[in-house]
Amino acid sequence: MSGNEEHFFEGAEKLLEIWFEETSCNNDDLRNISRSDWEDVLSQVNCEIISFSKNDLIDAFVLSESSMFVSKRRWILKTCGTTTPLKCLSQLIKLASLNGYKIITDLFYSRKNFIRPEAQVTPHKGFTEEVSYLDTLFPNGRSYCLGSMNLECWYLYTFSRSDMKLSPGHMINEGVESDPDQTIEILMQNLDQNAMSVFNKKNILSASDATSMSGIDKILPNMHIDDFLFDPCGYSMNGINEKGEYMTIHITPENLFSYVSFETNVAMTNYRNLINQVINTFKPGKFIVTIFANKCSLAYETMKELEVEYSKESHWKRTDMQCCNFPSYNLLFAQYSYNGKNNCSI
């Protein structure tokens, strides 16, 4: 980079999640895919593996640009910067087929609007281009935009096999029980710079120090944490527990484009306390919350709790809220901005 070019990094991630149909063979497992094969997949994305952790139910990879999680029949890839996650889909589908999974039941691709979309590369130069690319693989996919298209918004592309006919007069058996599934994302901007100073190597010696000093280790205390502090600044962590649940946090601390994302699939009947803990840890100026939950999830009905307007004593103003009902999932989307009051809870 020349001395005249301003440093910038796009913290907002592109998030892919794919579920494959259960098979009759107990040995079929996405975790059987070798590390070298994953490295080939990620080379299509323009990122690489930094660290790895696992337990009996889930494999977790810290990447040079965010994270990847692999369980028996679910794959999650979350990458920031100018990465190209959609480019790896064909290769991923082939690898899954070789490991027994030939049918995708659900696919979700989502991201927040970029600060500098012109810096992205094909097929991520715009959501229209991303949708066109995905449609070549999933002709029955559907695309959505939540929020304000000319301000802050969140894009979503979904594919569900339950929407499709297998053959004339035959539908997918909707009576088959799916695994409980839920995901909450909190996407934060305009972060407090004192909070962000912890994620700079000028101030902190190690990732573990950053994790403990920031309070990240207290957000979901039962997680086994694998963390990484970038040089000169930036931070990523994965957490996994014995239930196969995960959490992941990624931090771009630079003041002009600060960004923090928090994501977990931990099942809760109420997410308000978790949201408050996250925003009190990082102190954003504005943030977006998205919650996905399927009909088997504890969170499916209780998402309605967040639909209630928050106390007038809160220092957060809810600027937008939208709810969507999909064939198997409910989705809640909400935006908040700081209103200057002292109460730090929503």
* pLDDT digit string, tens, across residues 264-323: 999 998 899 999 999 999 999 999 999 998 888 877 766 666 666 554 556 888 899 998
Gap between the Cα atoms of 162 and 173, Å rounded:
8
Share of the chain above pLDDT 90, in %: 75
- Compare 1 and 62 and report the one with higher pLDDT: 62
> What is the tally of helices (H) and strands (E) in the chain?
7, 18
Active-site residue identified among 214, 236, 261, 328: 236
Question: Which CATH topology does 14-338 take?
Answer: S-adenosylmethionine decarboxylase (3.60.90)
Active-site residue identified among 64, 66, 71, 328: 66
> Cα angle at 331 between 75 and 29, to 5 degrees?
15
* pLDDT digit string, tens, across residues 3-32: 445 889 999 999 999 999 999 898 999 999
- Beta strand ranges found along the chain (DSSP E): 14-20, 49-54, 59-63, 66-70, 74-79, 104-112, 142-147, 153-160, 165-167, 170-171, 182-189, 224-229, 235-240, 246-252, 259-264, 286-294, 316-325, 329-338
Amino acid letter, 91: Q
Q: Is 10 annotated as a binding residue?
A: no
* pLDDT digit string, tens, across residues 70-90: 999 999 999 999 999 999 999
User: What pLDDT does residue 169 have?
Assistant: 37
Q: Is 114 annotated as a binding residue?
A: no
User: What pLDDT does residue 165 have?
Assistant: 43
Residue 2 has pLDDT above 70, yes or no: no
* pLDDT digit string, tens, across residues 224-250: 999 999 999 999 999 999 999 999 999
Active site residue 344: no
Active site residue 66: yes
Active-site residue identified among 80, 88, 153, 233: 80
Gap between the Cα atoms of 339 and 42, Å rounded:
41
* Residue ranges per structural domain of the chain: 14-338
Active site residue 250: yes
Q: Which residues have CB under 8 Å from 108's CB, separation 6+?
A: 15, 16, 17, 18, 156, 157, 158, 292
DSSP result, 49-61: EEEEEE-SS-EEE
- Compare 273 and 341 and report the one with higher pLDDT: 273
* pLDDT digit string, tens, across residues 164-177: 543 333 333 344 45
Residue 345 has pLDDT above 50, yes or no: yes
Q: Is 257 annotated as a binding residue?
A: no
Percent helix, percent strand, percent coil in the chain, to nearest 5 = 25, 35, 40
Q: Is 39 annotated as a binding residue?
A: no
Q: Binning pLDDT at 50, 70 and 90, where does residue 127 land?
A: very high
Share of the chain above pLDDT 70, in %: 88
Measured over the CA atoms of residue 124, residue 126, residue 129 and residue 134, the dihedral's sign is positive
Enter the DSSP assignment of 171.
E
Active-site residue identified among 67, 124, 153, 250: 250
Gap between the Cα atoms of 162 and 172, Å rounded:
6
Active site residue 132: no
Gap between the Cα atoms of 146 and 123, Å rounded:
21
Q: What is the pTM of this model?
A: 0.91
Within 10 angstroms of residue 3's Cβ, the number of other Cβ atoms is 4
Q: Which residue is it, tokens 């030939």?
A: 102
Contact, 158 vs 108, CB < 8 A?
Answer: yes
